[in-house]
């Protein structure tokens, strides 16, 4: 199983060595063949309380959404502007 992970802005600091241009390829050694986006985030060390938007294969999802082999998952923190 392999999952492509993309992190936005401040969430990048939570994963040492994260390279924005290539993202992160997650290949779990054990565990269920289907993970949730929240479990995936927990496994790579993201603080769940800082994740405000989850995209699975370019579709808005949530932390309870299933993530399958070959999926791309993007995590975004809260963003502000004005």
Taking only the tens place, the pLDDT of each residue in 30-56 is 655 669 999 999 999 999 999 999 999
Structure confidence at residue 52 (pLDDT) = 97
Q: Percent of the chain, pLDDT > 90?
A: 80
Q: Which CATH number fits domain 3-76: 3.40.50.1580, 2.60.40.10, 3.10.20.30, 3.30.1360.200?
A: 3.10.20.30
Decide the pairing of beta strands 53-56 and 66-67. Answer: unpaired
Q: What is this structure's pTM?
A: 0.90
The b-or-e profile of 52-80 (16+ CB within 10 A means b, else e) is eebbbeeeebeeebebeeebebbbbbeee
Structure confidence at residue 29 (pLDDT) = 76
First to last CA, the chain: 41
């Amino acid at each position: 199983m392999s999952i492509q992970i993309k992190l936005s802005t401040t969430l990048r600091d939570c994963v040492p060595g994260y390279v924005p241009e290539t993202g992160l390829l997650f290949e779990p050694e054990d565990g269920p063949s289907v993970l949730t986006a929240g479990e995936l985030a927990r496994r790579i060390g993201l603080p769940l309380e800082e994740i405000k938007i989850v995209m699975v294969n370019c579709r808005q999802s949530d932390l309870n959404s299933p993530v399958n082999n070959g999926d791309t998952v993007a995590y975004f923190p809260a963003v502000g502007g004005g």
